[in-house]
């Protein structure tokens, strides 16, 4: 998986210069730090035959994929026209 393919966002503008308060009774870390990332995507009516949408997500721990899900919606809703 190449993380450079994903669009980068600058969250500094949204959260500013904030820091997380660590409780004074927090135990010391025993191991190495890790990075957990989640990626979510969906398409609207992506299946050209059934017009059903698909939603999916990936969860990565450091660079290893640890969980993923891809699901096609089970039903489609038709819009109704109102005759006023």
**Mean pLDDT confidence for 6-25:** 79
Phi then psi dihedrals of residue 64, to 5 deg: -100, 130
How much is the pLDDT for 1? 63
**Does residue 14 sit in helix, strand or coil?**
helix
How much is the pLDDT for 8? 76
- Predicted confidence (pLDDT) at residue 4 exceeds the cutoff of 80: no
Contacts of residue 51, defined as CB under 8 A and 6 or more positions apart, other chains included, come to 45, 76
- Regarding predicted confidence, which is higher, 39 or 50? 39
How much is the pLDDT for 77? 65
């Amino acid at each position: 998986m190449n993380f450079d393919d994903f669009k980068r966002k600058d969250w500094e503008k949204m959260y500013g210069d904030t820091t997380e308060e660590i409780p004074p009774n927090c135990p010391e870390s025993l191991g190495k730090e890790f990075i957990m990332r989640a990626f979510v995507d969906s398409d609207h009516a992506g299946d050209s035959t059934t017009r059903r949408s698909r939603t999916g997500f990936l969860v990565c721990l450091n660079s290893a994929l640890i969980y993923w899900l891809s699901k096609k919606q089970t039903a489609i809703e038709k819009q109704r026209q109102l005759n006023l």
